[in-house]
Amino acid sequence: MKHIGLFGISCFLTCALLLSGCAGKQGTGQESPSVQGPEPAAPQSWEDAAQDLWRVEELKPEVQQQFAAPPAGFSWRIFKNVAFLLPEGWTEQTGATQESGLPWTTYTATAPDAPQGEGLRFAIKLLQNTRSTHGQEVQTVSKACLAALGAAHAREDFTVFDREEKQGREMHHLRYRERSPQGQAMMVHQVILASEAADTVHILLFASPEAQWQANWDRYGSVILQHISLAR
């Protein structure tokens, strides 16, 4: 298992440029009901586990041993090829969406008092077999995601923009303000990862009401994003 340790907060750069390009189409896929846990037999390896949504305690003991003890108030989850820390009591949903003709698999974890898709939440979007099945280069998809964000937000909305390459993955870190569909002022931190070797694009998103941003980032967001691990 590769723990990629997505970033150190101190390395963020203040946004100094306006992302540009055409607007992206918002996904319209519907979420599935809350996840109740898988029924298949526990997988024999981390690679096998990376096919569904799993709680680490459901895995074989030899697979569980690959994970460090989670911090207090968190537990390990595996979604597809992503392992991450889930805050206790958050509601999980999986689903799928079509964006710009590409099929993304989705995962959303929402804080107890937040409506689905609103308020405090962590989300993953995953596009696998980007080139081999869909005929798109991962960098092309990544740039399209950046262009869509730039078109949907004003320059002053962005407070962080950074790019780095780590363990063979191109990563973009963005933080920006936006309004939720219900008009709530939100702060969003998004990480876009493009891996040629894995032929996969990941989008990781942590969102919080702006008024509680710093407290929620310190308690949840930084912990989740600093402990993301990828199976391959």
For 92-147, how does the pLDDT look when each residue is reduced to its tens digit (9 = 90+)?
Answer: 999 999 887 899 999 999 999 877 667 899 999 999 999 999 999 999 999 999 99
Question: Is the pLDDT reported for residue 51 higher than 60?
Answer: no
Write out the two tokens for 11. Answer: 């390395």
Which domain, by its residues, includes 142?
A: 2-11+42-230
Task: Give pLDDT, residue 104.
Answer: 94
Residue 50, domain CATH: 3.40.1000.10
Residue 9, SS3 per DSSP: helix
Q: Give domain status of residue 112, yes or no.
A: yes
Global confidence as pTM? 0.78
End-to-end CA distance of the chain: 7
Q: Give domain status of residue 33, yes or no.
A: no
Q: Give domain status of residue 147, yes or no.
A: yes
Q: Give domain status of residue 20, yes or no.
A: no
Q: How many other C-beta atoms can be found within 10 angstroms of the C-beta atom of residue 10? A: 5
Q: Give domain status of residue 113, yes or no.
A: yes
Query: What pLDDT digit, counting tens, does each position of 135-156 carry?
Result: 999 999 999 999 999 999 999 9
Question: What domain count does the chain have?
Answer: 1
Query: What pLDDT digit, counting tens, does each position of 172-221 carry?
Result: 999 999 998 888 899 999 999 999 888 999 999 999 999 999 999 999 99
